[in-house]
Amino acid sequence: MAYTVKRPRLTLAEKIYLPTIIGGLFITLRHMLLQAFGLTKVTMQYPEQKWDAHMPAWYRGAPTLVRDEQGRDRCVACQLCEFICPPRAITIHPEEIPADERWGKVEKRPKAFDIDMIRCIYCGLCEEVCPEQAIFLRKDYSITGLTRAEMVHDIHKLRELGGEMTGLVNKWNDKK
């Protein structure tokens, strides 16, 4: 059953939009005067000035891989981040660590770890699901490249961008 909705009757001033137009002109005039007297700053000179100092704590930037204090990868190639990624931007190819090496108990490490920044939606699910805290979202909003291939960050680029993170890493804990 359809419902009929009665429209309110407009006054003459509302029909010709004159109060609304005048109100918009006053807003524009106010902004123009504030800008002319230097009371507000609207424009940022981008490459010279950046928002880095003003980034909020909740900002989610590009994902990167981090290392521990000794320069070892935190990633155990569990592939949870790959499985949870909604746009399937993450690709991991794990490899086994030889049993005769010191950290052979870990079993796996990433042989290849690629993140397609064009597909990434910066949702932060990869960071939340990582059991070893190996992937973090950095506070970077200027991710550029001239080709699509440049926008696919491989394991070496991710390590370079991620840097070092301090704290307990379950992967390298001898007691585990």
**Residue whose C-alpha is closest to residue 114's, from 135, 143, 130:** 135
Q: What would the pLDDT profile of 139-160 be if each residue is shown by its tens digit? A: 888 888 999 999 999 999 999 9
Three-state DSSP class for 6?
coil
Q: Across residues 123-139, what is the average pLDDT?
A: 90
Q: Across residues 112-120, what is the average pLDDT?
A: 95
- Residues 160, 111 within the same domain: yes
The strand pairing partners of 64, in sequence order, are 136
pLDDT of residue 68: 81
Higher-pLDDT residue of 1 and 110 is 110
- Residues 32, 85 within the same domain: no
Domain span holding position 60: 55-166
- Residues 82, 157 within the same domain: yes
CA distances from 1 to 4, 6, 65, 82 (A): 10, 16, 58, 49
3 in any annotated domain = no
CB neighbour class for 73 (10 Å; exposed up to 12, middle 13-18, buried from 19)? buried
Per the prediction, the chain carries an average pLDDT of 86
> Domains in the chain: how many in total?
2
pLDDT of residue 166: 75
pLDDT of residue 101: 77
Using the 8-state DSSP alphabet, how is residue 145 labeled? -
How far does CA 29 lie from the centroid of its chain? Answer: 37
